[in-house]
Amino acid sequence: MSLLFDFLYLLPALVYAPVFFLKSRRVGENPATLFSERWGIYASEKLAKISGKKILWIHAVSVGETMVARRWIESLREIKAPFHFVLTTVTPTGQKLARQAEAEDLTAFYVPFDFSWCVNAFLQAVKPAALALVETEIWPNLILQSAAKNIPVCLINARLSEKSLRGYSRIRVLFQNVFSKIQLVLAQEESDARRFCDLGIAENRVLVMGNIKFDTAAPSVVPEAFHRNRVGIAENDSVLVAGSTHPGEEESLLRVFLRLRRNHSKLRMILAPRHVERTEEVAMICAKAQFKTVLFTDVQIKASEAWDVMVIDQIGVLKNVYALANFVFMGGSWIKHGGQNPIEPAVFDLPVLHGPHVFNFKQIYAIFGEAGGAYCVADEESCFQRVEAFLNQPELAFKTGQRAGETVKKYRGAGLKQAQRIMELIQDQKGSAQ
Protein backbone atom coordinates (compact mmCIF):
# COMPACT_ATOMS: atom_id res chain seq x y z
CA MET A 1 0.00 0.00 0.00
CA SER A 2 2.82 2.42 0.86
CA LEU A 3 4.40 1.83 -2.56
CA LEU A 4 1.13 2.83 -4.20
CA PHE A 5 0.98 6.05 -2.21
CA ASP A 6 4.67 6.69 -3.05
CA PHE A 7 3.76 6.52 -6.73
CA LEU A 8 0.65 8.70 -6.38
CA TYR A 9 2.56 11.31 -4.35
CA LEU A 10 5.46 11.59 -6.81
CA LEU A 11 3.90 13.92 -9.38
CA PRO A 12 2.34 16.39 -6.86
CA ALA A 13 5.66 16.50 -4.98
CA LEU A 14 7.62 17.32 -8.13
CA VAL A 15 5.13 19.99 -9.19
CA TYR A 16 4.96 21.63 -5.76
CA ALA A 17 8.71 21.55 -4.98
CA PRO A 18 9.40 24.86 -6.82
CA VAL A 19 6.53 26.48 -4.91
CA PHE A 20 8.12 25.47 -1.60
CA PHE A 21 11.44 26.84 -2.82
CA LEU A 22 9.96 30.24 -3.73
CA LYS A 23 7.93 30.48 -0.52
CA SER A 24 10.96 29.70 1.59
CA ARG A 25 12.99 32.42 -0.12
CA ARG A 26 10.22 34.98 0.32
CA VAL A 27 10.06 34.51 4.08
CA GLY A 28 13.83 34.38 4.52
CA GLU A 29 14.11 30.63 5.00
CA ASN A 30 17.15 28.66 3.85
CA PRO A 31 15.84 26.28 1.13
CA ALA A 32 18.67 23.86 1.92
CA THR A 33 17.29 23.38 5.46
CA LEU A 34 13.76 22.95 4.17
CA PHE A 35 14.58 20.35 1.55
CA SER A 36 17.15 18.41 3.56
CA GLU A 37 14.71 17.91 6.44
CA ARG A 38 11.85 17.06 4.09
CA TRP A 39 14.04 14.39 2.49
CA GLY A 40 14.92 12.95 5.91
CA ILE A 41 18.37 14.47 6.48
CA TYR A 42 18.80 16.19 9.86
CA ALA A 43 21.43 18.34 11.55
CA SER A 44 23.43 16.47 14.18
CA GLU A 45 22.83 19.17 16.83
CA LYS A 46 19.06 18.77 16.47
CA LEU A 47 19.29 15.00 16.83
CA ALA A 48 21.57 15.39 19.84
CA LYS A 49 18.98 17.61 21.53
CA ILE A 50 16.27 14.95 21.31
CA SER A 51 18.49 11.89 21.78
CA GLY A 52 17.30 9.59 24.54
CA LYS A 53 14.10 11.61 25.12
CA LYS A 54 10.55 10.29 25.12
CA ILE A 55 9.12 12.06 22.08
CA LEU A 56 5.58 13.19 21.35
CA TRP A 57 5.43 14.12 17.68
CA ILE A 58 2.90 16.85 16.85
CA HIS A 59 2.33 17.72 13.21
CA ALA A 60 0.72 20.93 11.95
CA VAL A 61 0.53 22.19 8.38
CA SER A 62 0.83 25.98 8.58
CA VAL A 63 0.30 29.07 10.74
CA GLY A 64 -3.17 28.39 12.16
CA GLU A 65 -2.51 24.76 13.00
CA THR A 66 0.89 25.62 14.47
CA MET A 67 -0.74 28.11 16.83
CA VAL A 68 -3.17 25.37 17.91
CA ALA A 69 -0.23 22.99 18.45
CA ARG A 70 1.64 25.54 20.53
CA ARG A 71 -1.39 26.13 22.74
CA TRP A 72 -1.95 22.38 23.12
CA ILE A 73 1.67 21.90 24.17
CA GLU A 74 1.02 24.41 26.95
CA SER A 75 -1.86 22.20 28.11
CA LEU A 76 0.40 19.14 28.03
CA ARG A 77 2.92 21.01 30.16
CA GLU A 78 0.17 21.90 32.62
CA ILE A 79 -0.52 18.20 33.25
CA LYS A 80 3.25 17.53 33.33
CA ALA A 81 3.23 15.20 30.34
CA PRO A 82 6.65 13.47 30.40
CA PHE A 83 7.63 14.25 26.82
CA HIS A 84 10.00 16.17 24.66
CA PHE A 85 7.80 17.72 21.99
CA VAL A 86 8.76 17.55 18.32
CA LEU A 87 6.66 19.98 16.30
CA THR A 88 6.68 19.59 12.51
CA THR A 89 5.15 21.83 9.86
CA VAL A 90 4.75 21.85 6.09
CA THR A 91 5.04 25.56 5.28
CA PRO A 92 7.97 27.92 5.94
CA THR A 93 5.66 30.37 7.73
CA GLY A 94 4.42 27.63 10.01
CA GLN A 95 8.02 26.57 10.64
CA LYS A 96 8.96 30.10 11.70
CA LEU A 97 6.24 30.02 14.36
CA ALA A 98 7.32 26.55 15.46
CA ARG A 99 10.91 27.71 15.88
CA GLN A 100 9.79 30.74 17.87
CA ALA A 101 8.30 28.27 20.37
CA GLU A 102 11.43 26.12 20.65
CA ALA A 103 12.48 25.45 24.22
CA GLU A 104 14.35 22.90 26.27
CA ASP A 105 11.42 20.52 25.80
CA LEU A 106 10.43 21.50 22.23
CA THR A 107 12.24 21.09 18.90
CA ALA A 108 10.93 22.11 15.48
CA PHE A 109 11.46 20.18 12.24
CA TYR A 110 10.00 20.25 8.77
CA VAL A 111 7.75 17.26 8.19
CA PRO A 112 9.22 14.65 5.84
CA PHE A 113 7.83 14.35 2.33
CA ASP A 114 5.12 11.70 2.34
CA PHE A 115 7.29 9.09 0.65
CA SER A 116 7.64 5.95 2.73
CA TRP A 117 11.47 6.17 2.82
CA CYS A 118 11.41 9.83 3.94
CA VAL A 119 8.90 9.08 6.68
CA ASN A 120 10.91 6.08 7.82
CA ALA A 121 14.07 8.18 7.96
CA PHE A 122 12.26 10.63 10.26
CA LEU A 123 10.84 7.86 12.44
CA GLN A 124 14.25 6.23 12.78
CA ALA A 125 15.88 9.56 13.70
CA VAL A 126 13.21 10.84 16.10
CA LYS A 127 11.68 7.60 17.46
CA PRO A 128 8.38 9.13 18.61
CA ALA A 129 6.23 7.45 21.24
CA ALA A 130 3.06 8.82 19.61
CA LEU A 131 1.93 11.01 16.73
CA ALA A 132 -0.71 13.74 17.07
CA LEU A 133 -1.95 15.24 13.80
CA VAL A 134 -3.53 18.69 14.12
CA GLU A 135 -7.01 19.21 12.61
CA THR A 136 -7.05 17.45 9.19
CA GLU A 137 -3.45 16.49 8.47
CA ILE A 138 -4.11 13.10 6.91
CA TRP A 139 -0.95 11.95 5.12
CA PRO A 140 -1.15 8.27 4.10
CA ASN A 141 2.47 7.21 4.55
CA LEU A 142 2.87 9.28 7.70
CA ILE A 143 0.02 7.29 9.23
CA LEU A 144 0.80 3.86 7.71
CA GLN A 145 4.51 3.89 8.55
CA SER A 146 3.88 5.12 12.10
CA ALA A 147 1.25 2.46 12.70
CA ALA A 148 3.59 -0.21 11.30
CA LYS A 149 6.04 0.69 14.08
CA ASN A 150 3.28 0.52 16.73
CA ILE A 151 3.26 4.29 17.17
CA PRO A 152 -0.27 5.36 18.15
CA VAL A 153 -1.72 7.91 15.72
CA CYS A 154 -4.43 10.38 16.69
CA LEU A 155 -6.09 13.53 15.36
CA ILE A 156 -6.41 16.45 17.79
CA ASN A 157 -8.73 19.42 17.37
CA ALA A 158 -9.99 17.45 14.40
CA ARG A 159 -12.30 18.94 11.83
CA LEU A 160 -13.62 17.68 8.51
CA SER A 161 -15.71 19.75 6.11
CA GLU A 162 -18.48 18.38 3.93
CA LYS A 163 -16.28 19.10 0.90
CA SER A 164 -13.41 17.06 2.34
CA LEU A 165 -15.78 14.25 3.25
CA ARG A 166 -17.03 14.10 -0.34
CA GLY A 167 -13.45 14.06 -1.61
CA TYR A 168 -12.36 11.20 0.65
CA SER A 169 -15.58 9.29 -0.05
CA ARG A 170 -14.72 9.16 -3.76
CA ILE A 171 -11.47 7.35 -2.93
CA ARG A 172 -12.72 5.48 0.14
CA VAL A 173 -11.25 2.15 -1.05
CA LEU A 174 -7.82 3.74 -1.35
CA PHE A 175 -7.89 5.36 2.09
CA GLN A 176 -9.81 2.72 4.04
CA ASN A 177 -6.65 1.13 5.40
CA VAL A 178 -5.23 4.56 6.30
CA PHE A 179 -8.26 5.58 8.35
CA SER A 180 -8.29 2.21 10.13
CA LYS A 181 -4.85 3.01 11.59
CA ILE A 182 -6.04 6.18 13.35
CA GLN A 183 -6.63 5.14 16.93
CA LEU A 184 -8.32 8.29 18.21
CA VAL A 185 -10.07 11.31 16.74
CA LEU A 186 -10.71 14.24 19.11
CA ALA A 187 -13.23 16.22 17.09
CA GLN A 188 -14.11 19.89 17.51
CA GLU A 189 -17.85 19.44 17.01
CA GLU A 190 -20.58 16.81 16.64
CA SER A 191 -20.75 17.47 12.88
CA ASP A 192 -17.01 16.80 12.54
CA ALA A 193 -17.34 13.59 14.56
CA ARG A 194 -20.17 12.37 12.34
CA ARG A 195 -18.14 12.98 9.18
CA PHE A 196 -15.14 11.06 10.51
CA CYS A 197 -17.44 8.16 11.33
CA ASP A 198 -18.85 8.38 7.81
CA LEU A 199 -15.31 7.78 6.54
CA GLY A 200 -15.29 4.45 8.34
CA ILE A 201 -13.51 5.32 11.58
CA ALA A 202 -15.13 3.35 14.41
CA GLU A 203 -17.49 5.40 16.59
CA ASN A 204 -15.69 4.35 19.79
CA ARG A 205 -12.53 6.02 18.43
CA VAL A 206 -14.19 9.40 17.81
CA LEU A 207 -14.85 11.82 20.67
CA VAL A 208 -16.17 15.40 20.65
CA MET A 209 -13.75 17.51 22.70
CA GLY A 210 -14.30 21.13 21.65
CA ASN A 211 -11.99 23.56 19.89
CA ILE A 212 -8.52 24.34 21.28
CA LYS A 213 -8.61 27.69 19.50
CA PHE A 214 -10.94 28.94 22.24
CA ASP A 215 -8.08 28.41 24.70
CA THR A 216 -6.33 31.41 23.21
CA ALA A 217 -5.69 33.98 25.89
CA ALA A 218 -4.88 37.66 25.61
CA PRO A 219 -1.25 38.14 26.61
CA SER A 220 -0.94 39.31 30.21
CA VAL A 221 1.64 41.82 29.04
CA VAL A 222 1.38 43.18 25.50
CA PRO A 223 4.89 43.87 24.16
CA GLU A 224 5.81 47.55 24.11
CA ALA A 225 6.00 47.50 20.31
CA PHE A 226 2.22 47.06 20.29
CA HIS A 227 1.33 49.92 22.60
CA ARG A 228 -0.74 52.51 20.77
CA ASN A 229 1.53 55.42 21.64
CA ARG A 230 4.54 53.42 20.39
CA VAL A 231 3.14 53.38 16.84
CA GLY A 232 1.80 56.93 16.74
CA ILE A 233 -1.85 56.26 17.63
CA ALA A 234 -3.33 59.08 19.71
CA GLU A 235 -5.67 58.47 22.63
CA ASN A 236 -8.73 59.72 20.75
CA ASP A 237 -7.94 57.84 17.52
CA SER A 238 -10.06 54.87 16.46
CA VAL A 239 -8.41 51.92 14.72
CA LEU A 240 -9.93 49.36 12.38
CA VAL A 241 -7.68 46.30 12.09
CA ALA A 242 -8.25 44.04 9.08
CA GLY A 243 -6.66 40.71 9.95
CA SER A 244 -5.46 38.02 7.52
CA THR A 245 -6.68 39.74 4.36
CA HIS A 246 -6.48 38.19 0.90
CA PRO A 247 -6.14 39.62 -2.62
CA GLY A 248 -9.16 41.71 -3.57
CA GLU A 249 -10.21 42.42 0.00
CA GLU A 250 -7.74 45.23 0.63
CA GLU A 251 -9.18 47.35 -2.21
CA SER A 252 -12.72 46.92 -0.84
CA LEU A 253 -11.63 47.78 2.70
CA LEU A 254 -9.82 50.90 1.51
CA ARG A 255 -12.96 52.10 -0.24
CA VAL A 256 -14.90 51.63 3.00
CA PHE A 257 -12.14 53.40 4.91
CA LEU A 258 -12.22 56.35 2.52
CA ARG A 259 -15.96 56.83 3.07
CA LEU A 260 -15.61 56.55 6.85
CA ARG A 261 -12.83 59.13 6.95
CA ARG A 262 -15.11 61.81 5.53
CA ASN A 263 -16.87 62.07 8.91
CA HIS A 264 -14.24 60.48 11.14
CA SER A 265 -10.86 62.04 10.47
CA LYS A 266 -9.31 60.33 13.52
CA LEU A 267 -9.93 56.86 12.13
CA ARG A 268 -6.87 54.76 11.21
CA MET A 269 -6.67 51.37 9.51
CA ILE A 270 -4.18 48.53 9.95
CA LEU A 271 -3.98 45.90 7.21
CA ALA A 272 -2.42 42.52 8.00
CA PRO A 273 -2.21 40.44 4.80
CA ARG A 274 -2.53 36.71 5.39
CA HIS A 275 0.71 36.09 3.51
CA VAL A 276 3.56 38.37 4.53
CA GLU A 277 5.16 38.12 1.09
CA ARG A 278 2.30 40.33 -0.16
CA THR A 279 3.46 43.25 2.02
CA GLU A 280 4.92 45.31 -0.83
CA GLU A 281 1.89 44.67 -3.04
CA VAL A 282 -0.56 45.74 -0.30
CA ALA A 283 1.48 48.84 0.57
CA MET A 284 1.41 49.88 -3.09
CA ILE A 285 -2.38 49.42 -3.22
CA CYS A 286 -2.72 51.71 -0.19
CA ALA A 287 -0.37 54.34 -1.61
CA LYS A 288 -2.19 54.26 -4.94
CA ALA A 289 -5.41 55.03 -3.05
CA GLN A 290 -3.70 58.23 -1.81
CA PHE A 291 -3.32 57.14 1.81
CA LYS A 292 -0.24 57.91 3.86
CA THR A 293 1.05 54.35 4.25
CA VAL A 294 3.69 52.91 6.56
CA LEU A 295 5.03 49.47 7.37
CA PHE A 296 4.88 48.21 10.94
CA THR A 297 8.64 47.69 11.11
CA ASP A 298 9.24 51.28 9.90
CA VAL A 299 6.90 52.70 12.54
CA GLN A 300 9.02 51.04 15.21
CA ILE A 301 11.84 53.33 14.11
CA LYS A 302 9.75 56.47 13.55
CA ALA A 303 7.02 56.26 16.19
CA SER A 304 5.95 59.87 15.68
CA GLU A 305 5.43 59.52 11.92
CA ALA A 306 1.86 60.33 10.86
CA TRP A 307 0.01 57.67 8.88
CA ASP A 308 -3.43 56.70 7.63
CA VAL A 309 -2.84 53.01 6.93
CA MET A 310 -0.27 50.68 8.47
CA VAL A 311 0.65 47.39 6.77
CA ILE A 312 1.88 44.55 8.99
CA ASP A 313 5.05 43.08 7.49
CA GLN A 314 6.03 40.48 10.10
CA ILE A 315 4.97 36.89 10.74
CA GLY A 316 3.41 35.81 14.02
CA VAL A 317 2.57 39.25 15.42
CA LEU A 318 -1.09 39.59 14.49
CA LYS A 319 -2.35 38.40 17.89
CA ASN A 320 -0.58 41.40 19.44
CA VAL A 321 -1.64 43.79 16.67
CA TYR A 322 -5.23 43.33 17.86
CA ALA A 323 -4.22 45.18 21.03
CA LEU A 324 -4.12 48.32 18.87
CA ALA A 325 -7.69 47.92 17.59
CA ASN A 326 -11.11 49.32 18.43
CA PHE A 327 -12.84 46.93 16.06
CA VAL A 328 -11.74 44.19 13.67
CA PHE A 329 -12.59 42.83 10.24
CA MET A 330 -11.54 39.21 9.65
CA GLY A 331 -10.19 38.60 6.15
CA GLY A 332 -10.65 35.63 3.88
CA SER A 333 -14.39 36.10 4.22
CA TRP A 334 -15.26 38.47 1.36
CA ILE A 335 -13.78 35.91 -1.00
CA LYS A 336 -14.49 32.18 -1.05
CA HIS A 337 -11.52 31.30 1.11
CA GLY A 338 -13.47 30.22 4.17
CA GLY A 339 -12.60 32.95 6.66
CA GLN A 340 -9.98 33.22 9.39
CA ASN A 341 -10.05 32.52 13.10
CA PRO A 342 -11.92 35.32 15.00
CA ILE A 343 -10.94 34.16 18.49
CA GLU A 344 -7.63 36.06 18.71
CA PRO A 345 -9.30 39.50 18.44
CA ALA A 346 -12.22 38.39 20.61
CA VAL A 347 -9.93 37.75 23.60
CA PHE A 348 -9.21 41.50 23.58
CA ASP A 349 -12.97 42.18 23.95
CA LEU A 350 -13.18 43.53 20.41
CA PRO A 351 -16.24 43.52 18.13
CA VAL A 352 -15.63 41.28 15.13
CA LEU A 353 -16.86 41.87 11.57
CA HIS A 354 -16.64 39.29 8.81
CA GLY A 355 -17.93 38.52 5.34
CA PRO A 356 -20.30 35.68 4.35
CA HIS A 357 -17.63 33.12 3.37
CA VAL A 358 -16.61 31.62 6.72
CA PHE A 359 -17.16 27.92 6.03
CA ASN A 360 -13.80 26.93 7.55
CA PHE A 361 -14.95 28.38 10.91
CA LYS A 362 -18.69 28.02 10.46
CA GLN A 363 -19.50 26.86 13.99
CA ILE A 364 -17.19 29.38 15.66
CA TYR A 365 -18.77 32.30 13.80
CA ALA A 366 -22.23 30.94 14.58
CA ILE A 367 -21.37 30.90 18.29
CA PHE A 368 -20.09 34.48 18.19
CA GLY A 369 -23.06 35.63 16.11
CA GLU A 370 -25.60 34.11 18.48
CA ALA A 371 -23.84 35.75 21.43
CA GLY A 372 -23.87 39.13 19.70
CA GLY A 373 -20.09 39.39 19.56
CA ALA A 374 -19.71 39.32 15.79
CA TYR A 375 -21.57 40.67 12.75
CA CYS A 376 -21.63 39.45 9.17
CA VAL A 377 -21.06 42.35 6.75
CA ALA A 378 -21.78 40.89 3.33
CA ASP A 379 -20.41 43.77 1.26
CA GLU A 380 -18.77 47.19 1.38
CA GLU A 381 -22.00 49.02 2.15
CA SER A 382 -22.93 46.86 5.13
CA CYS A 383 -19.35 47.08 6.42
CA PHE A 384 -19.50 50.87 6.17
CA GLN A 385 -22.83 51.00 8.00
CA ARG A 386 -21.66 48.76 10.83
CA VAL A 387 -18.35 50.56 11.45
CA GLU A 388 -20.16 53.91 11.19
CA ALA A 389 -22.56 52.70 13.89
CA PHE A 390 -19.65 51.68 16.12
CA LEU A 391 -17.96 55.04 15.63
CA ASN A 392 -21.14 56.98 16.40
CA GLN A 393 -22.12 54.72 19.32
CA PRO A 394 -18.99 53.72 21.25
CA GLU A 395 -21.16 51.98 23.84
CA LEU A 396 -22.47 49.64 21.14
CA ALA A 397 -18.93 48.72 20.10
CA PHE A 398 -17.94 48.21 23.75
CA LYS A 399 -20.87 45.88 24.51
CA THR A 400 -20.33 43.89 21.29
CA GLY A 401 -16.67 43.40 22.16
CA GLN A 402 -17.53 42.45 25.71
CA ARG A 403 -19.88 39.72 24.46
CA ALA A 404 -17.14 38.41 22.15
CA GLY A 405 -14.68 38.17 25.05
CA GLU A 406 -17.22 36.46 27.31
CA THR A 407 -17.90 33.89 24.60
CA VAL A 408 -14.22 32.90 24.44
CA LYS A 409 -14.11 32.41 28.21
CA LYS A 410 -17.24 30.26 28.08
CA TYR A 411 -15.79 27.77 25.58
CA ARG A 412 -12.26 27.40 26.97
CA GLY A 413 -10.84 24.11 28.24
CA ALA A 414 -10.61 21.89 25.13
CA GLY A 415 -6.82 21.82 25.17
CA LEU A 416 -6.61 20.38 28.66
CA LYS A 417 -9.28 17.76 27.94
CA GLN A 418 -7.53 16.68 24.75
CA ALA A 419 -4.14 16.55 26.49
CA GLN A 420 -5.54 14.27 29.21
CA ARG A 421 -7.21 11.98 26.68
CA ILE A 422 -4.03 11.59 24.63
CA MET A 423 -2.11 10.69 27.77
CA GLU A 424 -4.70 7.99 28.45
CA LEU A 425 -4.27 6.64 24.92
CA ILE A 426 -0.49 6.44 25.29
CA GLN A 427 -0.80 4.77 28.69
CA ASP A 428 -3.29 2.25 27.28
CA GLN A 429 -0.93 1.53 24.38
CA LYS A 430 1.97 1.07 26.79
CA GLY A 431 -0.09 -1.26 29.01
CA SER A 432 -1.21 -3.45 26.10
CA ALA A 433 2.40 -3.73 24.87
CA GLN A 434 3.62 -5.06 28.22
pLDDT digits (tens, 9 = 90+) for 33-44: 888 999 999 999
How far apart, in Å, are the Cα atoms of 405 and each of 184, 235, 344?
A: 31, 22, 10
CA-based torsion, 220, 224, 229, 233: positive or negative: negative
| pLDDT classification of 242: cutoffs 50, 70, 90 | very high
- State pLDDT tens for residues 188-230: 999 999 999 999 999 999 999 999 999 977 777 788 889 998 8
- State pLDDT tens for residues 116-152: 999 999 999 999 999 999 998 899 999 999 999 999 9
Task: Sketch out the chain's domains with CATH numbers.
Answer: 2-211+413-433 (3.40.50.11720), 224-410 (3.40.50.2000)
DSSP 203: G
| pLDDT classification of 434: cutoffs 50, 70, 90 | low
More confident residue, 105 or 221: 105
pLDDT at residue 358 tops 90: yes
Q: How far is CA 228 from the centre of its chain?
A: 25
How far apart, in Å, are the Cα atoms of 203 and each of 42, 160, 199?
A: 38, 15, 11
Listed in sequence order, the DSSP H helices in 101-220 are 116-126, 140-148, 162-170, 172-180, 190-198
Q: Could you tell me if 189 and 208 are in contact, meaning their C-beta atoms sit under 8 angstroms apart?
A: yes
pLDDT at residue 430 tops 90: no
pLDDT at residue 432 tops 90: no
- Give the per-residue pLDDT at 9: 81
Q: Please name the amino acid found at residue 205.
A: R
A 10 A CB-CB count for 133 gives: 27
- Give the per-residue pLDDT at 16: 74
Strands 182-187 and 206-208 come out as: parallel
Angle at 246 between CA 307 and CA 402, to 5 degrees: 70
Q: Could you tell me if 130 and 151 are in contact, meaning their C-beta atoms sit under 8 angstroms apart?
A: yes
Angle at 308 between CA 303 and CA 311, to 5 degrees: 75
- State pLDDT tens for residues 243-252: 999 999 999 9
Q: Please name the amino acid found at residue 272.
A: A
- State pLDDT tens for residues 311-326: 999 988 998 999 999 9
Whole-model pTM? Answer: 0.83
Whole-number average pLDDT of the chain? 92
pLDDT at residue 283 tops 60: yes
More confident residue, 187 or 221: 187
Q: Where are the beta strands (DSSP E) in 70-172?
A: 84-89, 106-110, 128-134, 153-158
pLDDT at residue 4 tops 60: yes
Q: Could you tell me if 340 and 244 are in contact, meaning their C-beta atoms sit under 8 angstroms apart?
A: yes
Half-sphere exposure of 169 (CA within 13 A, CB side): 11
